[in-house]
Structure 1
Amino acid sequence: MWDCREIWLFFCGLTILPLVCFSANFVPLDNYLIDCGASTDTAIDNRNFTADSFYKDFLSTQQDVLASTSLKSIASSSDSPLYATARIFTAPSKYTFPIKKRGRHWIRLYFFPFAYEKYDLSAANFAVSTQDYNLVSDFSVQKNHVMKEYSLDVNSDTLVINFAPSANSIAFVNAIEVVSVPDGLIVDNGFSLYPSGSYSGLLTKALETVFRVNMGGPSVSSGNDTLQRTWVADEKFLIQPNLATNFSNISAVKYVNGGPTANTAPPSVYGTLTRMNSAGDPRSNFNVTWQFDVEPQFQYLVRLHFCDIVSKGLNELYFNVYINSLLAAKDLDLSIVNNNVLATPFFKDLVTAPSASTKMLVSIGPSTVNNNYPDAILNGLEIMKMNNSASSFSSSTAPETGSSGSGSKKVGLIVGVSLGAFFAVVMVLVFFLLCRKRRRLEKEKQGHSKTWVPLSINDGTSHTIGSKYSTGTSGSAASNFGYRFPFVTVLEATNNFDESWVIGIGGFGKVYKGELNDGTKVAVKRGNPRSQQGLAEFRTEIEMLSQFRHRHLVSLIGYCDEKNEMILIYEYMEKGTLKSHLYGSGLPSLSWKERLEICIGAARGLHYLHTGYAKAVIHRDVKSANILLDDNLMAKVADFGLSKTGPEIDQTHVSTAVKGSFGYLDPEYFRRQQLTEKSDVYSFGVVLFEVLCARPVIDPTLPREMVNLAEWTMKWQKRGQLEQIIDPTLAGKIRPDSLRKFGETAEKCLADFGVDRPSMGDVLWNLEYALQLQEAVVQGDPEENSTNMIGELSPQLNNFDHEVSVSAAQFEASSLDDLSGVSMSRVFSQLVKSEGR
């Protein structure tokens, strides 16, 4: 029989055992730590790095070159003595490590360039690979130390690491780690951001650590992490640090059975966080956003670490998480996912789609699921690049294997011959198709009476930019329109298309910020040869913008068609797109007055397109991403690549293939393939509701009835309860009459049939009236409490005869650009009849 003391010790043991399990350090079965080029062992963070002379049997190299430098010379780059020595490879060389336990392993490679005798390590250029993966290609380290960390699934009894110098160069490495990774650190299933849904197969993926960040706390050194990882602080990644604040309570962290352990992330990560800096304002509505540099065309595994150490009770904190404006977690309640236990770690794995962008944005923001104080938190973040289809982490090459045996050479020869024959056939086929296409284009060109160069439309002459941009001169007919820019001028303006200058990516291609010689800031849209949009859209854009000049249409400054390029140069719009100010980017919320003025500006631009020329111009791609804002938040309609001239006088529509953006597309146009100005009106109605609700027009992560913004908002509008779904930042800030007028206007725009929709002139009238209702209640206005002015205009206006209406329309076409300071209600009071054009 046990006495009381033994029973007490038994229960204490049961209580302490889980904590010991959760905090015990992982002991890797494979644990190779090599200080390359060193003559003696080196102790780092209680770990012993062995001089690589001890691993001589592992190394195959033609020449032993062991380099060293003084610790003083590396002090500015790293305090680690590992960087004081290096092994230099003058020819392909490899390390072969015996693997005791198959499975996921870390490979950590340390590099620091210094000069040693005749070798300058900063000039080294080389590749590193394993038998399965290409780790780096054309790799060089110019100045500071670099540590590359990879996580690979090793399924053989050996792991081979190859170092292959480039021609007339060398390779080097300062230290190497090959260490077993705990089972379960990487799980097989995650969540795909686009397309949205579950993702499986992570266990088979090789990963490269790009960022490992501790939110709200200091850097965590490898000595303070059970798996010798380094976590950096998050301050330098915050786009707007003033929107964020830190919180720390490390002692509160509780690892529970079945959940993340200290091997997932240490308490110093889960016990600190960055949160919204709401500054005591219960109506705060903004996102905290971090920005990270990434390599395009790769998928990334993003692991988000959470631990609610701020809540005092359950179900207090709900928030949303976004990655590149895509919803990664909606209405996240950490107390629910952790079985009603606070301060318990939780992580979420997300897989991105390959992107052309060099930036990744991670944002947190408040949820509207309840009325609690707005808040959002993030404790830690890991961003890991996934290998591509060529089993490579480099976009330029497939895996390199260094020296190989005769068997692999034979296989390589067979593969090379096969691929050579295949590509020869492909090249012949491509050549045939290109010749055929060229003959077709030449026939089409002969069939045209005008050259495709847009500016020749004006006077039959192709113009080039004059003065400082080239030696060409410009004719008077093009003096106010875009000019043809030399390609060298475009290169100079964009710093050779510097990827860090990219400000947007669209269907046509990337958009770069640029600056001309005279200091003019411009936006440069460079056509992507692989884009579905091409020459037709390029030509249309220039033709349209060369004919129009209006303060609410983005101005075309020039274009370039040299070297098979399709480049458009616009005025630079400092504030970017309307869409970015509504959701997903973390920018401050717009006021209701600002939103109304932006909608009014965009409506003016569209109204001018529909009425300001001999034939109406239909934009065909009206959406919030194509409404740009200048430094004063003045709206300008942009992107005319899909635009089309409207029907002839004796026609009601233009029959054409359906083009546009999903979610904004006119359903009648989609069904009948008959395009009218009313198709733009429908799209603009969707924009109006998007402005009001500040959410994407299509969001597949929401419940079924909420996925389509237009359908969802129309249900609430018809109930007369539109105020229930507006942007929370606008709650209580919109006069009821202004909201009612705005909702009625948007509802009319979304009528099923085009004939039932208002003209853009009518829409403009009503938006200006909604603004007047917002700024001041109109005394004695009989429509004050029931304002549906679309189709209910005063008899006096409806009695204008046809001749007067035409004169007013002509006046609008020639003079509207100078009328922005005039009350547009007065101007458009004479343009409301549909027969006014």
Structure 2
Amino acid sequence: MPIQHSILLLAAFLLQFSSLHFPSLGYDHQNTYFINCGSNINVNESNNLYIGESTTTYPRTNFRESSIQTNQSSVPSPLYQTARIFHSESSYEFTTVPNNTYMVRFHFYSFSSPVNLYTAKFNVSVPGFPLLQNFDAKNTTNPGLIKEYFVKIIRKRFKITFTPQISSFAFVNAIELFMLPTHLIPDSVARFTYTGSTGRGLSTYSNNFLSRALETKHRLNVGGENVTRQTDNLSREWLPDDSYITDPQNAKDSPFFGGTLKRDPDDESDGPNSNKYTAPDVVYQTAKETLNGSNGLSWSVPVEKNTDHFIRLHFCDIFNQQSHLTAFALIIYDNLVISKVNSDPDVSSPYYYDVVVHSDGTGLLNVSVVPNITSAIPKAFLNGLELMKVIELSGSIPLYDLDSNSKNISLPVVVGSVVGGLVLISVVMVLFLWIIKIRKQKPVENSDLLKIPTTAEGTSYSRLELHYGKITQGSSLPNLNLGLKISLLDLQFATENFDVKKIIGVGGFGNVYKGVLKNGMSVAVKRSVTGSDQGFPEFQTEIMVLSKIRHIHLVSLIGYCDERDEMILVYEYMEKGTLRDNLYNTNLPCLTWKQRLDICIGAAKGLHYLHKGVAGGIIHRDMKSTNILLDENLVAKVADFGLSRTGPLDQHSYVSTCVKGTFGYLDPD
């Protein structure tokens, strides 16, 4: 089969059985909520349609005591004509896509009304994070205030709760909630530790960064004018940096020299190259650069004291027609963070650096760019700066958001809870007794190391040896590579005696365990049901096929064990598991479209090798998402050759190419 046909078939297969949401494929605002609070009128603002909350069934609301205020005077935005007032703890509940980062925005404008909105004092929280604490609305007059947050949502429901302080109330004019592109905020980021008087900065690596929330504090278009929410793809506003630069005499504003920015409009990969969602073109088309002979440029930005802040610095060499001319250093708090910014990217290619900094006690964060005097053009520049406060997780995120209206628990709820508890206890007892029974029947699991039985003559024979008559005359096993044979004792040690805790998969052949061989190699150990003749032909075929082929897109057979009645196959360990798990398991990161295509092409190459690269040809006959495994780099490898058949594809009609296996296969034809 030509490789092009394999690719097309696998592409169709992946599209048909994929999870059907592609955050990186033609990104759009999925599960989008733009709400005009306290109103039944829809409003178009900043290229977004805000739906009147009284006219939509979502989000679900839990308002105990609330009211609506309307402003009749002129306002800076139609969104600020109305507001929802909360006199007790109230919430909005949204349906969301789990394990994705969302933008959360609140609009506040304290217009004149019988209820003096500017006297409001309240808290706003989401599961696990306090977003606004002791918020005072007195600063929400003209032109209004927008508070913006980045939150990773791990549940299917997401609740925003407004809690008035004692003798006060809460309010909101508009709410925005929408999913962000996959890699807009990284899960791993460099952390800069300011060491104060020692005058040193240490750069370490911080993982699981998305377990925090972020609050936007500043977003600056360096060297340029105000960038409105209408211009930005994610409705962000970028303000001029002029009020924050500490040495304006050393700087000049520089426009783009012409042409177009060099970036792929469809690229949504994870840094350092900027895409259309990282920042709009206009941010990279202006900059501040150092004047000839100046020591550098510095900005001093207000921050919260002694708090972690996430900084993103945007760069684009808009000054030079030729690459490799400028190089400069990034300084934070007078400490060197990066010695060579602009490490030879293409001219006009936007890029960015991310770093987490713990602010000192001054309430200001100082950032500088300093020219490298040894570079061809000793110049430093900056195009944009974003600064966000890091909000740590303050509590566990609940599995379910309870209805806050339910102050009293009704009798049916109590009865249901008791019955549910009894059912649960019964199920646990049945499982417990079943496990005990199984362990009595199969003392292999978690028991003392197996004793290898012998025949009456004192010799142990394997199933393969018995099958091929080794007892009679020591005949060789056809097409089997005995160099791959691994002792049962070694596999017991590798899997901690086939501990149930080591099980990573279950299939028709038996359990699959993760193990570590004596040489330190991690392996997947597939063990058949002990004592059963079922699966022997597949066991034999697997060894015969995999012992004579090697390909980057085929799972490698490390060895096998056929002592006494055992049938065990040992493969290279595939870190990321099956393709099916990666498509349907919501606890795993969603595969990007590029990753899906790479997996598709890789699997197709593996099939093509089987069809054309092996003498005689091999037909898999059981191609499905559970038989495509992914290594730590998401490289696809075809697995499970127990149902394969050898023989040319275009002749010898007696060779069976009928599809076998279970539902979900891909027909090899």
Compute the TM-score of the two structures, normalised by the length of structure 1.
Answer: 0.42
> 2:69 corresponds to which residue?
67
SS at match of 2:282: helix
Pairing partner for 1:253 from 239, 250, 261: 261
Residue type at the aligned position of 1:63: E
In structure 1, the residue matched to 2:40 is: 39
Q: Assess if the C-alpha contact under 8 Å between 1:164 and 1:402 holds in 2.
A: no
Match of 1:111 among 108, 118, 123: 108
User: Is 1:220 equivalent to 2:227 in the alignment?
Assistant: yes
Q: How does 1:626-775 map to 2 (within 5 A)?
A: none
- Please name the residue that 1:49 is paired with: 50
What letter corresponds to residue 153 of structure 1 in structure 2?
Answer: K
Q: Distance in 2 between matches of 1:132 and 1:407?
A: 25
- State the one-letter code of the partner of 1:70: Q
In the TM superposition, 1:406-425 aligns within 5 A as none
| Other structure's SS at 1:269 match | helix
Does residue 359 (structure 1) correspond to residue 364 (structure 2)? The answer is: yes
Instruction: Provide, for residues 623-670 of structure 1, a one-character-per-residue CA deviation record: whole Å limited to 9, x for no partner.
Output: xxxxxxxxxxxxxxxxxxxxxxxxxxxxxxxxxxxxxxxxxxxxxxxx
Q: Secondary structure at the match of 1:342?
A: coil
Q: Cα distance 1:328–1:404, how it changes in 2: closer, same or farther (>3 A)?
A: farther
Q: Which residue of 1 aligns with 2:297?
A: 288
Superposition deviation, residue 56 in structure 1: 5.7
Are the counterparts in 1 of residues 250 and 294 from structure 2 also a CA contact under 8 Å?
Answer: no
| Separation in 1, partners of 2:27, 2:229 | 14
Partner SS for 1:116: coil
Matched residue type, 1:114: F
Q: Determine helix, strand or coil for the equivalent of 2:79.
A: helix
Shift of 1:391: 6.1
* Matched letter for residue 67 of structure 2: V
Give the letter for the 1:138 counterpart: N
Aligned pairs (5 A) from 1:269-308: 269-278=283-292, 284-308=293-317
Question: What is residue 491 of structure 2 aligned with on the other side?
Answer: none
2:134 maps to 138
Task: Give the distance between the partners of 2:136 and 2:127, measured in 1 at CA.
Answer: 21
| Partner of residue 315 from structure 1, selected from 313, 324, 329 | 324
**Conserved in 1, the CA contact under 8 Å of 2:221 and 2:383?**
yes
- Residue 332 of structure 1 aligns with which residue? 341
Contact 1:193–1:326 (CA under 8 A) maintained in structure 2 = no
Q: Give how far 1:101 is off.
A: 5.0
SS in 2 for 1:383: strand
> Matches of 1:222 and 1:320 in 2, distance apart?
32
Quote the sequence identity (%): 28
Is 1:82 aligned to 2:84, yes or no? no
Q: Secondary structure at the match of 1:220?
A: coil
More helix by share: 1
Please identify, of 200-209 and 167-176, the stretch whose mean Cα deviation from structure 2 is larger: 200-209
Q: Is the 8 A contact 1:26 1:227 kept in 2?
A: no
Higher relative contact order (CA 8 A, sep 6+): 2
Show the counterpart of 2:374.
Answer: 369
Aligned to 1:387: 391
Give 1:204's aligned residue.
Answer: 211
Q: Partner residue of 2:196?
A: none
RMSD over aligned Cα atoms: 2.7
Amino acid at match of 2:358: A
> Counterparts of 1:286 and 1:232 in 2: how far apart (Å)?
25
User: Which residue does the alignment assign to 2:153?
Assistant: 154
Q: Aligned equivalents of 2:317 and 2:236: distance in 1?
A: 23
Q: Deviations over 1:186-205 (max 9, x none)?
A: 11222211132222222222
Q: Is 1:268 the counterpart of 2:268 in the alignment?
A: no
1:349 aligned residue: 354
Provide the residue aligned with 1:97 in structure 2. 94
Change beyond 3 A, Cα 1:241–1:61: same
For 1:407 and 1:265, the matched residues in 2 are separated by: 50
Gaps of 5+ in 1: 1-20, 279-283, 393-399, 409-837
User: Is the partner of 2:243 in helix, strand or coil?
Assistant: helix
One-letter code aligned to 2:350 = P
Provide the rounded CA distance (Å) in 1 between the counterparts of 2:241 and 2:204: 29
CA 405–359 in structure 1, closer or farther in 2 if over 3 Å, else same = farther
Could you list the per-position Cα deviations for residues 92-114 of structure 1 after superposition, in whole angstroms to 9, with x for gaps in the alignment? 10000111454100100011112
Q: Contact (CA 8 Å) 1:35, 1:176: kept in 2 or not? A: yes
Q: Which amino acid aligns with 2:137?
A: V
Once the 2 structures are TM-superposed, how far is the Cα of residue 357 of structure 1 from its aligned partner? Answer: 2.5
Q: Is the 8 A contact 2:23 2:181 kept in 1?
A: no
Structure 2 Cα separation of the partners of residues 182 and 331 of structure 1: 29
The 1:391/1:381 distance shift into structure 2, 3 A limit, reads farther
- In structure 2, relative to structure 1, the CA distance for the partners of 1:22 and 1:104 (3 Å cut) is closer
Pairwise CA distance, 1:166:
0.3
- Hey, what's the Cα distance between the residues in 2 that align with 1:63 and 1:406? 15
How much does 1:251 deviate?
A: 4.1
CA distance, structure 2, for counterparts of residue 345 and residue 248 of structure 1: 14
Change (3 A) 1:185 1:234: same
Provide the rounded CA distance (Å) in 2 between the counterparts of 1:188 and 1:332.
22
Contact kept, 8 Å, 1:295 with 1:358, in 2: the verdict is yes
Give, as a single letter, the amino acid of the residue that structure 2 aligns with 1:192: R
CA distance in 1: counterparts of 2:319 and 2:366, whole angstroms:
24
Alignment of 1:443-522 (within 5 A): none
- Alpha-carbon displacement from aligned partner over 1:107-136 (angstroms, at most 9, x marks no partner): 00011112322x111110000001221001
Query: What's the counterpart of residue 121 of structure 2?
Result: 125
Partners in 1 of 2:129 and 2:321 — Cα distance? Answer: 48
Distance, in Å, in 1 between the alignment partners of 2:327 and 2:408 is 59
- CA distance 1:48–1:333, shift in 2 (3 Å): closer
Matched residue, 1:165: 164
**Aligned partner of 2:391: which letter?**
N
> Are residues 1:26 and 2:27 paired?
yes
Shift of 1:298: 1.5
Kindly state the Cα deviation for residue 404 of structure 1 after the two structures are TM-superposed.
7.7
Q: Is the 8 A contact 2:24 2:182 kept in 1?
A: no
Please tell me whether the aligned partners of residues 62 and 405 of structure 2 are also in contact (alpha carbons under 8 angstroms).
no
How far residue 319 of structure 1 moved from its aligned partner, in angstroms, is 0.9
Describe the SS at the equivalent of 2:118. helix
Q: How many residues align?
A: 365
Does structure 2 retain, via aligned residues, the 8 Å contact 1:25–1:226?
Answer: no
Contact 1:189–1:200 under 8 Å retained in 2: yes
3-state SS in 2 of match to 1:350? strand
Answer yes or no: is the 8 Å Cα contact 2:304–2:359 preserved in 1. Answer: no
C-alpha deviation, 1:23, in angstroms? 13
1:244 aligns with 2:241: no
Residues in 2 aligned to 1:22 and 1:275: alpha-carbon distance in whole angstroms:
36
Q: Deviation per CA, 1:702-754: give whole Å up to 9, x if none.
A: xxxxxxxxxxxxxxxxxxxxxxxxxxxxxxxxxxxxxxxxxxxxxxxxxxxxx
Residue type of the alignment partner of 1:224: T
Relative to the length of structure 2, the TM-score reads: 0.52
